[in-house]
Structure 1
């Protein structure tokens, strides 16, 4: 018993290592979190006062006028609606379409399945480039079209691999029993496979939902209509511009350029566009880890 107790005691070197490791992780957390905190603090401070610097931990002159100026612009509300719509529709259609294709790939009697997998893996590492992709989008009539956010993102081969790994772990006896009862392949997929696949569906939905919310590139390249641009594209244009005079022109009457600056509006816009997904992400983080482990451990 005494020997066992001594084996469980930490040595001095282990104690030092644990404390240094803890200190290192705290430094990494600080480096990661502080820039977000800095943006939030300065967005809640008077714009002119913030230009003097020296604001690091708390607002020196607290104000919400920066956020009032942001929400006074009807463009940001429209962009929020576009982002919400494309996130919901794009995620639902992506999960359904990718799951259908993955179910076919999981069938070992699929003719040419090995070659399809090879072709799909190649597309994960090589692409045709931006110019051919742009020409394809234009010729398909998706330029300045809401469907440009939906159709090109219907399928992702990496997500297909995750789906296939999960589908192969489902008992084949369930499909055999359903076939005996007269169910077709589509009915088996809808009535048997999908209800049993909620963990992987939640994982892929989270992957795609975060992507759809954060995507700004499609709005920059394929959309010129301001009413179809998502919130991240709106943020990109606000940050990229040298000033935000147009936003301050749309500010409410009580807000003047004496307290609101282009920099303070940029910071407030960054907080508004990133806060929703930041609030949701920590609660759904476990699904990312679970999704990466699906199919990795065999019984």
Structure 2
């Protein structure tokens, strides 16, 4: 009885310690986001005094008005939305098609292709050869640079492959008896039953496309093709918000600062992907569980 009480006490102590530890981790993770959000809703000139930690001292939405009034920011946001939607759809379809081909036992040279693809997970040609390749393909200052180079990922292929290999062959055999070709089988049978893994890869690549600033920084010089993350990166890196402040006129200009506009822009660029994630989370978890079990 005494040993049982001791064990129960130790378990309770561990639970309390684990609870407190997780609270600390959550606070350290969430508070920086809360700090940016609070300061973005504070009057810009007042926020420069500091001392704002939990709630806005002088509530104001003028920084957000300045952000949405800036044509450059809104154009960059449109580019980001377009490249995220188009790039994600193209990536998922193309990678799924290649993975489906790899899952077929009759594919000639499949082991050789797998070996070549595995090498690419650990080694790359480097930035300079890649830049020269993009230049020679005519994709510099082109929207296609966001889509075509990101069409395929061997890592995502492995996730697709682990799922496709477990789909019963009877489904395909029945479809072939009915006269369906490979493309019809893929689009009407394989993809519909693979929605958990499709949603997982779509979330992976969608977040990558939304957060990608490097592609726009290296391969894009035209301002009209600049994504919002690159726009924000250049503003923060150069410590200059002249192009942002240019849109603030009249009474709004008196209540905002370059810092408050930067914070508001960070919130605007992050919010859409944060709102989308909860709707895909169940597919995200389910897809990974399926991949881990069947792999």
Shorter chain as normaliser: what TM range? over 0.9
- Distance (whole Å) between structure 1 residues aligned to residue 287 and residue 126 of structure 2: 29
Structure 1, gaps ≥5 residues long:
none
> Which one of the candidate residues 38, 42, 47 is aligned to 1:45?
42
Specify the alignment match of 2:274 in structure 1: 278
CA distance in 2 between partners of 1:35 and 1:90 (Å): 30
Q: 1:140 to 1:298 in 2, by over 3 A?
A: closer
Question: Aligned-pair distance for 1:285?
Answer: 2.5
Q: Does 1:155 align with 2:145?
A: no
Alignment length (residue pairs) = 294
The residue that corresponds to 2:259 in the other structure is 263
For the 8 Å contact 2:196–2:284, the answer to whether it is kept is no
1:35 to 4, 13, 32: 32
Q: Could you tell me the TM-score, scaled by structure 1's length?
A: 0.94
Unaligned runs of 5+ in 2: none
- 1:253 CA displacement: 2.5
User: For the residues of structure 2 that align with 1:111 and 1:9, how far apart are their CA atoms?
Assistant: 63
Q: How does 1:95-174 map to 2 (within 5 A)?
A: 95-174=92-171
CA distance in 1, matches of 2:71, 2:64: 13
Instruction: Tell me which residue corresponds to 2:249.
Output: 252
1:212-227 to 2 correspondence within 5 Å?
A: 212-227=209-224
How well do the aligned residues superpose, as a CA RMSD in angstroms?
A: 1.8
134-143 or 279-288, larger mean C-alpha shift: 279-288
Alignment partner, residue 205 of structure 1 = 202
Aligned counterpart for 2:193 among listed residues 176, 196, 203: 196
The answer as to 2:48 corresponding to 1:61 is no
Q: Is the 8 A contact 2:163 2:294 kept in 1?
A: no
| 1:128 match: secondary structure | coil
| 1:91/1:205 contact within 8 Å kept | yes
Instruction: Check the 8 A contact 2:232/2:265 in 1, yes or no.
Output: yes
Contact kept in structure 1, 2:99 and 2:157, CA below 8 Å: yes
Local SS of the residue matching 2:292: coil
Q: 1:113 & 1:58 partners in 2: Cα distance?
A: 59
Q: Which position in structure 2 is the counterpart of 1:287?
A: 283
